[in-house]
Amino acid sequence: MKSPDQFDEILVYSEPVDMRKSYSGLSQLVQTAMGKSLFANSLFVFSNRNRNMMKCLYWRKAGFAIWGYRLEKNRFHWLKPDDNGDASLSPDQFRMLIDGCDLTAMKPHSPLELKRSF
Q: Report pLDDT for 15.
A: 92
Task: Tell me the pLDDT tens digit for each residue of 10-68.
Answer: 999 999 999 999 999 999 999 999 999 999 999 999 999 999 999 999 999 999 999 99
Compute the average pLDDT of residues 78-91.
81
Contacts of 116 (CB under 8 A, 6+ apart): none
- Which residues are bridge partners to 70 per DSSP? 53
Task: Tell me the pLDDT tens digit for each residue of 57-67.
Answer: 999 999 999 99
* pLDDT exceeds cutoff 70 at 1: yes
